[in-house]
Structure 1
Amino acid sequence: MLETYISKLVDNIPLSKKNQREKIDIILDGGLFNGSYLIGALYFLREMEKVGHIEVDKLSGCSIGSLACVLYTADLLDLTTEIYNMAIDQFKKTTHLEVVDDILSKIRKKLPRDICERMNGRVFITYYDLKKGKKVIKSKYKNKKEIMDVVKRSCFVPYLIDGSFMHKERYIDGIFPYILPKEEGKRILYLDLLGYDKITHIISVKNEKTNFHRVLSGLLDIHLFYIKEKPTLMCSYVDEWSLVRQTYHFILKKLFEIFVFYNIYFYFLIHKYILTREVLEHLNSNSFVQIVVDFLKKANEKFLRYFCM
């Protein structure tokens, strides 16, 4: 049924858009459960590409956007309902997302044999390497296992995934995606998940039984973008950004990213050079420290259950 609606929406775009096979790059924002909005938009773009209205060249993403990049490239968007339900079920039970390993394993089994050829030089995934103290932009992949590991690095929000601060004691979420450079003859489409209408839904799934309304919202947003040929809250062309949007993306978001990264990096250094194993063992044996830690854990869980579930 969804395919029928998507086809009708694509048929509704202006004739000028149908008659040109526009070449585009896509940048997919991060935003945890807001990733369902991306899926709706990607369904629309996949249909646009299928009927020859556009040609998608490169994709860039971080966090849930990196997973969406892989699913689009592998033509596995239809897996999203199943993996979303897996994530939501565990999040509501435990307030964590250890199930991410099962999700990535399920996706890995369905990846086509030529997935590395499809992704190399075309799919850009960002994450932070705390050991090197820098942001990494990955676009070359050796095999399916490496692809899934890179996605996990990009999606690894400290303490949220499995209670650990880092993946493999060094990697964390990329925070914001790499903005691809402009190339002649191509447009760059940015899908933003941090607009004022969506930012509060990043980890809030309160009263939501499925993600279908988010998928539909993303689908209708990008349809509106194409038929009105104007930016929406989620969709915009990078080369058409107003001064306000440029300030937001290139200055404000960058300052926020620097602030977040250096706070995390500072904690990483403290954990590495001050909170040694001996110090941690001593702190863990201290009853007052244990009371404080338990209180913070319970307060965090109560907050998530009350406001987000």
Structure 2
Amino acid sequence: MLKTKLLDELINNIDIAPPTQPELIDIVLDSGAVNGGYLIGCLLYLKELEKKGYIKIRKISGSSIGAVCGFTYICDTLELYDDIYSNSRNDIICNLNLKKCSKMLKTFIYNQSNDFYTKFNNRLYIAYYDINQKCDICTYNYSSNKDLYLKLRYSTFLPLLINGNLSMNNKCDSCIPKPFYEDNKVLFINLTTYKKLFTAINVSSKNSMYKILHGIIDIHQFYTTGDKTELCSYINNWSFYDHILFRLRFIITFILKYTLALFIDLQKHYNDNNDKYKSIIINYMANLFRNYVLLVQI
């Protein structure tokens, strides 16, 4: 279990009683590769608040690791993230791929009851990028455990790093979650900060405990003071500057994903016309050799 003495003490030190009706909150979880530990720390804190009647989490939106962490929150298995990280860390270091992460997630989901997927319908919003349509897709209804797993795979598929391919079924990581714009509070947990970007692909730690503790402390400060922190903010309270930054990030990721889609289209076109292009190149090289080697005037 990831629950710590620190978490218990912080929750018990909240100096206000739970409200008569829990406060409704939606959550948006950011992308961040192996920085999911920060998200798990925040979610552990929120889970305790929910158990004690302070809040009620209605729905969660996420992309990449944010989608996986949202998944673990809804099925109440937050420790699954650290299990996956700890057991796949050596594979990431030695083989530079995330195959084992995907395999462990698949095994967990496929071992659940046949109706396991239903608890995520209209609660877990998973964002991924569709290369054929060249746009982001956000899905929140699932038809089976396999469908749920595939959507999580699409959202976490990093080109070249999973299995050496550029995409999975022409889908890949969207790099940005779909935000909610609701009347109730919408909590955004941000991993795209200057400090966090440098640790997004760092797996030097054997487990995620440092990042988890950091997440717990950050969200405790946010919840008890109401002030924006490095990780946490309410989208409802975003300034014009915050909205511009998020929109700028959307534009940058769109350009990167669109470039990837064009590259895949170009690669497919080349493969389909490989013999034709080879013939053109061979004729071109033959002409160069004829004109500048065989027929050159000495």
- Name structure 2 gaps, 5 residues minimum: 279-298
Write out aligned runs for 1:1-309 (5 A). 2-15=3-16, 21-109=22-110, 111=112, 114-168=115-169, 170-183=170-183, 186-206=184-204, 208-249=205-246, 251-276=247-272, 278=274
1:39–1:218 contact (8 Å) kept in structure 2: yes
C-alpha change, 1:43 and 1:110, in structure 2 (3 Å) is farther
C-alpha change, 1:15 and 1:279, in structure 2 (3 Å) is farther
State the Cα distance separating 1:259 from its structure 2 match. 1.4
1:137–1:178 contact (8 Å) kept in structure 2: yes
Q: Distance in 1 between matches of 2:199 and 2:64?
A: 15
Helix, strand or coil at the partner of 1:205? coil
Deviations 1:263-302 (A, max 9, x none): 11111211121243736997xxxxxxxxxxxxxxxxxxxx
Q: TM-score, normalised by structure 1?
A: 0.84
- Structure showing greater radius of gyration is 2
Q: TM-score, normalised by structure 2?
A: 0.87
1:130–1:171 contact (8 Å) kept in structure 2: yes
C-alpha change, 1:47 and 1:280, in structure 2 (3 Å) is farther
Q: How many residues align?
A: 278
Q: Distance in 2 between matches of 1:130 and 1:68?
A: 24
2:181–2:236 contact (8 Å) kept in structure 1: no
Name the aligned partner's letter for residue 201 of structure 2: I
Q: Distance in 2 between matches of 1:229 and 1:271?
A: 50
- Aligned position for 1:302: none
Q: Distance in 2 between matches of 1:277 and 1:94?
A: 33
Helix, strand or coil at the partner of 1:23? strand
1:24–1:57 contact (8 Å) kept in structure 2: yes
- Aligned position for 1:295: none
State the Cα distance separating 1:209 from its structure 2 match. 2.3
- Aligned position for 2:285: none
Helix, strand or coil at the partner of 2:195? coil
Helix, strand or coil at the partner of 1:274? helix
C-alpha change, 1:19 and 1:198, in structure 2 (3 Å) is farther
Q: Distance in 2 between matches of 1:98 and 1:120?
A: 26
Name the aligned partner's letter for residue 94 of structure 2: K
State the Cα distance separating 1:212 from its structure 2 match. 0.7
User: Superposition RMSD on alpha carbons, in Å?
Assistant: 2.2
1:12–1:227 contact (8 Å) kept in structure 2: no
Deviates more, 1:116-125 or 1:33-42: 116-125
Q: Distance in 2 between matches of 1:82 and 1:281?
A: 48
- Name structure 1 gaps, 5 residues minimum: 283-309
State the Cα distance separating 1:114 from its structure 2 match. 4.5
Name the aligned partner's letter for residue 198 of structure 1: K
State the Cα distance separating 1:4 from its structure 2 match. 3.4
Deviations 1:166-185 (A, max 9, x none): 112x01101100011213xx
1:13–1:226 contact (8 Å) kept in structure 2: no
1:126–1:154 contact (8 Å) kept in structure 2: yes
Q: Distance in 1 between matches of 2:81 and 2:135?
A: 31
Q: Distance in 1 between matches of 2:273 and 2:86?
A: 38
Helix, strand or coil at the partner of 2:91? helix
Identity of aligned residues (%): 28
State the Cα distance separating 1:87 from its structure 2 match. 2.4
C-alpha change, 1:111 and 1:67, in structure 2 (3 Å) is farther
